[in-house]
Amino acid sequence: MSERHRDLLAIAVLLAIIAALLTSLLFIPDVVNADRQAFLDLNAVQNPFLTDIFWALTVLGSLEFGLLWFGGLWLMKRSDLAAYVLVALVLEIVIITFMKEAIMRPRPFETIPSFGWLYSQGGWSFPSGHAAGAFVLSTVIGLKVRRMMPLMAIIAILVAFSRVYVGVHYPLDVIAGSLIGILIGLFAVNLDLKRLESLLTRGRDYLDRKLAPDGNRGTSK
């Protein structure tokens, strides 16, 4: 077994263990009660200024924002990085969706109906997909472009907190999503994606030729 394969296996095993341990916490009443109280305490700091900030920040963990990263990198001729972002996002969607549907934890606004919400959202609460998505991007881009790591990490942390602030996740949801996102990102950057990178490069080159003015397309022989 190569070193790359050993690293991938180790990360996959760690991901499974972390996911199982975090899920098991939901069956401990004291932990669930503490999570609920932490949610209420964090939501107590709401004010109009913070609301505007976190309302804008929370979308940075969405799938749509992740796909914008992919598209931007692809168009900027960074097919190498775009390939890792795409694969990491796909892995995150599959894993998070599976966990949500298996665990089916209700969202806070469904279990604490008397509390005020900025907005409601469909689907299950655990783990947070936005937090996972933000940390997937932070890990992949931060490891591939080291100078971006501090900024990406700060954005991911703020996105994770925003999910609690706007009332759609408990703290444990975003902690789980964040850790899972980091591990998915680590797994993705250890993959060999040269074939996908080459495919993306050829696709972009084809698009460039199609969009180029007639005079810049060259003359076929």
What pLDDT digit, counting tens, does each position of 81-118 carry? 999 999 999 999 999 999 999 999 999 888 886 665 56
The encoded tokens of residue 95 equal 């894993």
**For residues 89 and 96, what is the distance between their CA atoms, to the nearest angstrom?**
10
Q: How confident is the model at residue 219 (pLDDT cuts 50, 70, 90)?
A: very low
Question: How large a percentage of the chain has pLDDT more than 90?
Answer: 52
Q: Is residue 160 part of a domain?
A: yes
Comparing CA positions, the residue from 26, 6, 50, 21 lying closest to residue 170 is: 26
Q: Looking at the domain assignment, is residue 199 inside a domain?
A: yes
Short-list 136, 121, 128, 118, CA closest to 97: 128
* Cα angle, residue 159 at apex, residues 77 and 103 outer, rounded to 5°: 105
Question: Which of 58, 63, 83 lies closest to 73 in space, CA to CA?
Answer: 83
Q: Is the previous residue joined to 106 through a cis bond, with omega within 30 degrees of 0?
A: no
User: What's residue 217's pLDDT?
Assistant: 53
Q: Examine the pLDDT at 31 and tell me if it is beyond 50.
A: yes
- Average of per-residue pLDDT across 4-33: 94
Residue 130 falls within a domain, yes or no? Answer: yes
Q: Is residue 115 part of a domain?
A: no
Residue environment code for 114-135, b if the CB has 16+ CB neighbours within 10 A, otherwise e: eeeebeeeeebbbbbbbbbbbb
Rounded to 5°, angle at Cα 52 from 123 and 85: 55
Task: Using the predicted structure, report yes or no on whether residue 23 has a pLDDT greater than 60.
Answer: yes
Residue 14 lies in a domain: yes
**211 in a structural domain:** no
Range of the domain at 12: 3-108+123-205
In a domain, 219, yes or no: no
CA distance 11 to 139: 14
How many domains does the chain fold into?
A: 1
Distance, CA of 154 to CA of 134 (rounded, Å): 10
The alpha carbon dihedral of 93, 98, 101, 103 has a sign of: negative
